[in-house]
Amino acid sequence: MDLENEIVIIVIASHSKRFLCPIDRRLVSHSYFLLMANKSAIITGASRGIGRGISLELAQIGYDLVINYAGNQEAALKTVEDCKGAAHEAGHAISAIAVKADVGGAGDREHLIQSARDQFGRLDLLINNAGITSIGRADILDAKEENFDQLMAVNLKGPFFLTQQAANWMIDLCKEGIIESPKIVTISSISAYTVSVNRADYCMAKAALGMMTKLYAVRLAEHGIRVYEICPGIIASDMTAPVQAKYDKLIAEGLTPMPRWGQPSDIGKTITALAQDYLPFSTGEVINVDGGFHMRKL
């Protein structure tokens, strides 16, 4: 084949719809292909629950996806397939891969970022979602140090250093003109400001993620990278399944102004608003997705 004179037909899965585009390869640089490709996102903890809900929504606006998980490969692969299906129904062609990585481990975080580099060559959006609940839910007077360390590794150290790595890559990608206005979103919780004395480590980690968001928002603003914190309320997922009856009762008694459980898609839709630049002059913001839980009442 005479590559010099070849006219290539590429399928561009853009933010609108797919279309065929004939381009003379001699005029096209590597950066151009990357610029014209789908935007791409890493979502940690995306095999189940809120991370899966976020991924399904991002798929519908045409994002290529890195679906991270800790151990449940079957669930991760199902999310990958469901995302491709959701994208297709919405008129987009996306790629999605599942990547096993413990966000609490440095080597695994490196592997996660490298997988995104190898597969997509760009990163427009990082979602720090993976998290575990307090192990054993022990009273603060009985909480164990090893459980504290494990939770902090996953819920705080992981997002902090993954954000650092992603941000440095995003800065380079912006300089090369490959991406514009990337974002980093961290999923904290109403537990960032609500006391549960049997989940002290969880509450403290979530509170710290709020400061992490502000720190990165200030540091990265000059590079055009916006950083947000989302505080979900009570969301139906495997994490809350064991306490479903307790929250059913509290919600029925008026705990939340909007009298229903939140769904993973509620968080996902909020993220698509950020991903599509509907908050263009905001950074370091806390976005409550909690049915109004955060408001004090008299």
| Residues noted as catalytic | 202
Q: Is 213 in the site for ligand NAP (CB under 6 A)?
A: no
Cβ of residue 219: shortest distance to ligand NAP, in angstroms?
Answer: 22
User: With respect to ligand NAP, which residue has the nearer C-beta, 132 or 275?
Assistant: 132
Residue 231, Cβ density class (10 Å: 0-12 exposed, 13-18 middle, ≥19 buried): buried
User: With respect to ligand NAP, which residue has the nearer C-beta, 92 or 266?
Assistant: 266
CB under 6 A: which stretch of 86-94, 113-121, 162-170, 231-239 binds ligand NAP?
231-239
User: With respect to ligand NAP, which residue has the nearer C-beta, 137 or 223?
Assistant: 137
Instruction: Count residues binding ligand NAP (CB under 6 A).
Output: 31
Q: Is 271 in the site for ligand NAP (CB under 6 A)?
A: no
Restricted to residues 118-137, the positions that interact with ligand NAP (CB under 6 A) are 129-132
Binding string, residues 75-94; x marks residues near ligand NAP by CB under 6 A? x-------------------
CA angle 175-41-234, nearest 5°?
A: 130
CB under 6 A: which stretch of 1-9, 26-34, 65-73, 249-257 binds ligand NAP?
65-73
Q: Is 68 in the site for ligand NAP (CB under 6 A)?
A: yes
Residue 271, Cβ density class (10 Å: 0-12 exposed, 13-18 middle, ≥19 buried): buried
Contact 61, 93 (CB under 8 A): no
Exposed e or buried b per residue across 165-199, where buried means at least 16 C-beta atoms within 10 angstroms of its C-beta: bbbebbbebbeeebbeebbbbbbbbbbbeeeeeeb
Q: Got the DSSP string for 231-256? A: EE-SB-STTTGGGHHHHHHHHHTTSS
Binding site for ligand NAP (CB under 6 A): 44-51, 68-72, 75, 102-104, 129-132, 154, 187, 189, 232, 234-235, 237-240
